[in-house]
Amino acid sequence: MVSSEAIPFAKTGGLADVVGTLPSRLAELGHRCSVFLPAYSRVFQAGVAVQDTKVGFVVDMDGKPKAMRLLKATVGEPSVDFYFIDQPHYFERPHLYGDQHSDYQDNCERFAFFCRSVVRAIERIGLPVDVVHCHDWQSGLVPAYMRTRMGGFEWYNHAASVMTIHNLAYQGRYWVNDMHWTGMDWRYFTMERMEFYNDVCFLKTGITFADMVSTVSPNYAQEIQKPESGCGMDGVLRGLGDRLTGIVNGVDYQVWDPMRDTLLPQPYGVDNWEVGKAACKSHLQKVLGLSVDPQVPVIGLVGRLASQKGWDLVLALMEKSLPCNNVQWAILGSGEHRFQSALQEIANRYPERVGIRIEFSDRMAHAIESGADMFLMPSQYEPCGLNQLYSLRYGTVPIVHAVGGLVDTVTDVSDYTLQDGSATGFVFYDYALDSLSECVDRALDTFTREPMVWKQVVETGMRQDWSWTKSALHYESLYKRACAMPRTIE
């Protein structure tokens, strides 16, 4: 696997969880897995021993020779090898992609160097590769190097490539003259391959050169083939046909399971959730300074304070409902200043009913997932989403917008789904305040007036299996399909 992030070494979002967890689940199925990452400063702060492989070489970056060395760490049992491309000029920085003001100006050069180093390192250490699984735009040049045989490495002849899109909105687009950093021949700068509105585009490069392309939920794979959600690439994606598929991300139940969660005041499972969640709810209310009342429904939200996550609707709903509804809000996140300020202002007006933490706190995230009664995710778009999966396990009923992976993982409460036993949450279909408000009211009404229905929905969700083991089997099938593709040279 080739990625810019993986836990426990480097993380800014869900990509790190996927790449840090999926390889170990594949290893449990009997596969040998290795992961390539940049050697960021934080890699050496992860508490894992990192060793020098004694492998190093120089990459000619358009006349600028840049030396690298290959480092290695082994994690878990069965073990997964993590290899790190160490080049301090590119990767010894306080952040992965940029500071609070903007992306690093040389990101094109940095990740071109990373991709060029990875393919050469695989050759140098003699890694027996069947599949190279590339994640997001930062690794998008690797399938191109494989298909064009750049460098003439022997391992290209028997390896397949898979490109996974975690979020199509992040594309790795750069000025046309940055093409020289890639080392690719200019004849590939075409609308069929690397060119995207006269920019060089790393993500499009990976998509067009890979043997198979996946994204992180079946519904998102369908959405991105339409102009509304395709970010300009819908035509390219439609052209893939059955080479494009969607696989829902998994949950690490070693970390996100209320039965074994050491961060909770009281663990619980599907058989005693009412007692366990009552203790967790009381704890959450105390920590956030909310009125401690088991009868008042608590709505939880955890995530980036960004437009994509639907915070404009959330703020409008809070302003509409707080004066009249006896509801509490538990919110954790950081991001855009306008959302931070608006949330803080509302919390100041309703201190006993709105508790917020403008930060990232793993402990608080677990407290909200376990202590809230329902979890709100009104995202404008959501490739997969993980919090709704955590919420299902913790008996915290999700309220979601019908997009991306949220559709694939949450079944709306209705007479039919209650009868067939599939209802797990509440879904709204129009990205509008009225639609969201009606959906939240349905959830609140069910919680308050229909306790037996609520109990059924909670327990159905808690029994769902969204484990990485299940997802790994789907990836195993995808790899087999990629390996069966004819090896063509361009």
The predicted structure's pLDDT at residue 101: 80
Measured between alpha carbons, how far is 86 from 114 in angstroms, rounded to an integer? Answer: 9
Same domain, 353 and 321: yes
Same domain, 307 and 388: yes
Establish if 264 belongs to a structural domain. no
The predicted structure's pLDDT at residue 360: 82
Query: What CATH number corresponds to the domain at position 477?
Result: 3.40.50.2000
The predicted structure's pLDDT at residue 186: 96
CA–CA distances in Å: residue 449 to residues 161, 279, 280, 380, 441 = 53, 22, 22, 30, 12
Same domain, 436 and 476: no
Residues of the chain with pLDDT under 70: none
Same domain, 32 and 61: yes
Establish if 360 belongs to a structural domain. yes
The predicted structure's pLDDT at residue 486: 87
User: How far is C-alpha 234 from the geometric centre of its chain's CA atoms?
Assistant: 21
The predicted structure's pLDDT at residue 425: 98
The predicted structure's pLDDT at residue 12: 85
Same domain, 294 and 210: no
Same domain, 300 and 241: no
Establish if 490 belongs to a structural domain. no
Joined tokens for residue 160: 């397949």
Number of domains in the chain: 2
Same domain, 373 and 287: yes
Q: pTM value?
A: 0.91
CA–CA distances in Å: residue 31 to residues 130, 345, 403 = 10, 52, 33
Same domain, 386 and 437: yes
| Edge-first strand listing for the sheet containing 374-377 | 354-358, 328-333, 298-302, 374-377, 397-401, 426-428
Q: Using an 8 Å Cβ cutoff, are 148 and 130 in contact? A: no
Establish if 260 belongs to a structural domain. no
Work out the burial of residue 283: count CB atoms within 10 Å of its CB; fewer than 13 is exposed, 13-18 middle, 19 or more buried: middle
Establish if 259 belongs to a structural domain. no
Question: Pairing between strand 328-333 and 354-358?
Answer: parallel
Residue 298 domain boundaries: 273-464
The predicted structure's pLDDT at residue 488: 81
Same domain, 475 and 460: no
Same domain, 200 and 335: no
CA-based Rg of the chain, rounded to a whole angstrom?
Answer: 23
Establish if 231 belongs to a structural domain. yes
Same domain, 184 and 243: yes
Establish if 6 belongs to a structural domain. no
Same domain, 460 and 474: no
Establish if 262 belongs to a structural domain. no
Residue with tokens 């909770």: 264
DSSP annotation of 287: H
